[in-house]
Amino acid sequence: MSDITEWFKGLPLFTRWWLALTAGFSLLGRFGIFKPYQLVLLYEPFIKQFQIWRPATAVFYYPLTPSTGFHFLINCYFLYNYSLRLETGTFDGRPGDYFFMLLFNWACCVIVGLIADIPLLMDPMVLSVLYIWCQLNKDVIVNFWFGSQFKAMYLPWVLFAFNLIISGGGILELVGILVGHVYFFLMFKYPLEFGGPTLLSTPSVM
């Protein structure tokens, strides 16, 4: 137990809390302490009934059932792995910038979720962070299932195709890719590669 505690305490701040809140809310929903209906993003309760917690809990909560447990663990692995790499890599020593990136991606996921009626935001939020890391490390070779290897820039699209073929999904992955691309384009690609003005910057208060 002490080894797990030390590992958890050694995680960077935002990755640690994101992972902990995800596990916590998902388990609370699984054991009925919170009703799952109260944790997901729904337009009418959020807008008309002013249930302002829903955009946050929709990111952290994921319904745990025998058929979704494996997907949840895969999401937690991607969350841990790529949030950790970003927070200790590109954003090392810049916690305010990383927090702003998470807030921007979260806000975009919430907006798309309300428009497209997406009640659970864990998938697109995790994919958005993964996409940003992959774009910042395009030529890094990553490992996938069955020993396959390819450049990081292809990983988000491989995950999209995999979910499309296996489960008939893919929409949530596309939303995550779109959100991640918006942040990457505005923060890095447009001002650095195209010489455009800085359209997105971390507020000074952060």
pTM > 0.75: yes or no: yes
Specify the residue for token string 């969350």: 79
The answer to whether residue 44 sits within a structural domain is: yes
Position 121 scores a pLDDT of: 97
CA angle 28, 84, 193 (to 5 degrees): 125
Residue 199 is assigned to a structural domain of this protein: no
Contact of 119 with 58, CB cutoff 8 Å: yes
Domain assignment of residue 57, given as a range: 3-194
Proportion of the chain above pLDDT 70, given as a percent: 100
Beta bridge partners, 150, equal 142
CATH number of domain containing 111: 1.20.1540.10
Whether 76 is covered by a domain: the verdict is yes
Q: For 70-120, how does the pLDDT look when each residue is reduced to its tens digit (9 = 90+)?
A: 999 999 999 999 999 999 999 999 999 999 999 999 999 999 999 999 999
Q: Which is more confidently placed, 203 or 160?
A: 160
Inside any domain, residue 203:
no
In a domain, 153, yes or no: yes
Q: d(Cα 67, Cα 70) in Å, to the nearest integer?
A: 7
User: Does any domain span residue 200?
Assistant: no
Q: What would the mean pLDDT of 144-162 be, rounded to a whole number?
A: 89
Residue 165 lies in a domain: yes
Question: What's the total number of domains in the chain?
Answer: 1
202 within a domain of the structure (yes/no): no
How far apart, in whole angstroms, are the C-alpha atoms of residue 166 and residue 45?
Answer: 33
Going from the C-alpha of 96 to that of each of 99, 152, 188, the distances in angstroms are 5, 26, 16
